[in-house]
């Protein structure tokens, strides 16, 4: 007997509430759009350029994040993040800084990555290393990486292009897998998920970096999978209930897949919550963005993708009570 969270035969009117849900989504997007100006998008070192320095303190004793930030502030270094790596005294320091790295630090850290050649006319890294050693004892510089503004801009543009290409491929796949009339609803749902997740991120002033970009691409895959399951049931019901009104048919399809949708969402959330609480600070941005995306993606499969299909079909049929038979005939 299959596991079901929702008993069979439910008749919840999901489609009847689509206007309220669209209004809520529009409000969230409007707030996020306003946040583009104030407080603005907070870009990480990956996209804005800067320096990453990973250090390991070898003297023993517990070291906190805030004392490290205090040392950096005394040197006039604006810290974007101080992230503990693992459970020991190893930290990843992210800050805006010069491209130049002094020769002594370069020798300690090895070649810099992503920033081209290293020049030795500043002592920013060496000075930071010395001050950290004075405050907390001996340390080892594991690596130093620099991302220039041009590299960050390229990464940012490539990330946006990846999301756009993914949506285009989804449009083609849905048109091939079902019918071109289904495709716009799936793509609008995907764009909605990425936009709402990004809006929440902007409103709370969280930092965009490559981990968040990876989470947004993962959300696209999750949301598409959920939407395809609902669309597949809609197509089956169109063939079985040809005289049903489209609103009734869509509600029937969403209710029939509701248990599966919730099971998928709950199990996915369980894995993401484990990453969020036990995965460490390095993976927390990815986990948090994925968590938001899963919630939004589950919501959009029910309240965005299906109502979009209804709206498009009504516009094509020219009537408010189009039946599944009309849809099947149009599809044929």
Question: At residue 18, does pLDDT exceed 90?
Answer: no
Band of residue 195 on the pLDDT scale cut at 50, 70, 90: very high
Q: What are 11's two structure tokens?
A: 């008749």
306-317 vs 246-256: helix crossing angle, rounded to 10: 160
Residue-level pLDDT at 114: 41
Question: In whole angstroms, what is the distance from residue 227 CA to residue 253 CA?
Answer: 12
CATH number assigned to the domain covering 15-43+151-331: 1.20.1640.10
Residue-level pLDDT at 144: 86
Q: What are 89's two structure tokens?
A: 């005294």
**In the chain, where are the structural domains located?**
15-43+151-331, 50-147
* More confidently predicted of 292 and 113: 292
Chain length of the chain:
332
Band of residue 321 on the pLDDT scale cut at 50, 70, 90: low
Question: At residue 294, does pLDDT exceed 90?
Answer: yes
Question: At residue 97, does pLDDT exceed 60?
Answer: no
SS3 state of residue 90: strand
Do the beta carbons of residue 223 and residue 170 sit within 8 Å?
Answer: no
Average pLDDT, stretch 136-153?
A: 83
Average pLDDT, the chain: 80
Residue-level pLDDT at 199: 92
* More confidently predicted of 75 and 78: 75
β-bridge mates for residue 238, sequence order: none
Average pLDDT, stretch 111-130?
A: 58
Q: Do domains 15-43+151-331 and 50-147 have the same CATH topology?
A: no
Q: Of 46-60, 74-88, 102-116, 226-240, where does mean pLDDT reach its minimum?
A: 102-116
Residue-level pLDDT at 106: 39
Do the beta carbons of residue 250 and residue 309 sit within 8 Å?
Answer: yes
User: Of 295, 232, 306, which Cα lies nearest the Cα of 264?
Assistant: 295
Residue-level pLDDT at 156: 82
Band of residue 179 on the pLDDT scale cut at 50, 70, 90: confident
Question: In whole angstroms, what is the distance from residue 207 CA to residue 20 CA?
Answer: 30
Entry pTM: 0.77
**Alpha-carbon torsion, ordered 101, 105, 110, 115, to 10 deg:** -10
Report the 3 state secondary structure along 188-236.
HHHHHHHHHHHHHHHHCCCEECHHHHHHHHHHHHHHHHHHHHHHHHHHH
Band of residue 124 on the pLDDT scale cut at 50, 70, 90: confident
How many CB atoms are closer than 10 A to CB 277? 10
* More confidently predicted of 107 and 52: 52
How many CB atoms are closer than 10 A to CB 86? 11
Q: pLDDT over 70 for what percent of the chain?
A: 85
Average pLDDT, stretch 167-174?
A: 85
CATH number assigned to the domain covering 50-147: 3.30.70.260
Q: Of 6-15, 16-25, 263-272, 280-289, where does mean pLDDT reach its minimum?
A: 6-15
Band of residue 113 on the pLDDT scale cut at 50, 70, 90: very low
Do the beta carbons of residue 3 and residue 263 sit within 8 Å?
Answer: yes
Q: What are 57's two structure tokens?
A: 């303190």
Question: At residue 312, does pLDDT exceed 50?
Answer: yes
Average pLDDT, stretch 213-230?
A: 89
Q: What are 321's two structure tokens?
A: 């009570």
Q: Of 1-15, 63-77, 217-231, where does mean pLDDT reach its minimum?
A: 1-15
Residue-level pLDDT at 198: 92
Average pLDDT, stretch 186-200?
A: 91
Average pLDDT, stretch 78-94?
A: 81
């Amino acid at each position: 007997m299959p596991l079901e969270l929702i008993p069979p035969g439910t008749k919840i009117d999901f489609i009847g509430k689509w206007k309220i849900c669209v209004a809520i989504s529009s409000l969230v997007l409007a707030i996020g759009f306003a946040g583009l100006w104030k407080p603005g998008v907070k870009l990480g070192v990956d996209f804005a350029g800067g320096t990453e320095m990973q250090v390991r303190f070898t003297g023993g004793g517990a070291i906190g994040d805030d004392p490290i930030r205090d040392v950096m502030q005394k040197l006039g270094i604006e810290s974007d993040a101080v992230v503990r790596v693992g459970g020991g005294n190893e930290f990843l320091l992210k800050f805006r800084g010069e491209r130049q790295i002094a020769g002594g630090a370069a020798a300690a850290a090895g070649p810099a990555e992503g920033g081209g050649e290293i020049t030795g006319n500043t002592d920013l890294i060496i000075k930071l290393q010395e001050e950290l050693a004075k405050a907390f004892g001996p340390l080892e510089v594991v690596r130093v990486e620099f991302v220039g503004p041009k590299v960050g801009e390229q990464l940012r543009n490539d990330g946006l292009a990846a999301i756009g290409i993914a949506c285009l491929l989804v449009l083609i796949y849905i048109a091939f897998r079902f019918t071109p009339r289904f495709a716009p609803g799936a793509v609008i749902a995907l764009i909605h998920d990425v936009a709402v997740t990004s809006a929440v991120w902007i409103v709370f002033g969280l930092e965009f970096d490559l981990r968040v970009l990876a989470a947004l691409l993962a959300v696209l895959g999750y949301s598409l999978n959920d939407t395809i399951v609902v669309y597949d049931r809609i197509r089956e019901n169109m063939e079985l209930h040809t005289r049903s009104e489209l609103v009734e048919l869509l509600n029937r399809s969403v209710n029939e897949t509701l248990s599966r949708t919730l099971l998928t969402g709950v199990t996915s959330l369980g894995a993401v919550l484990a990453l969020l609480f036990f995965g460490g600070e390095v993976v927390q941005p990815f986990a948090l963005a994925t968590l938001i995306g899963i919630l939004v993606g589950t919501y959009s499969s029910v309240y965005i993708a299906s109502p979009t299909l209804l709206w498009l079909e009504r516009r094509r049929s020219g009537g408010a009570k189009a039946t599944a038979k009309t849809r099947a005939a149009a599809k044929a």
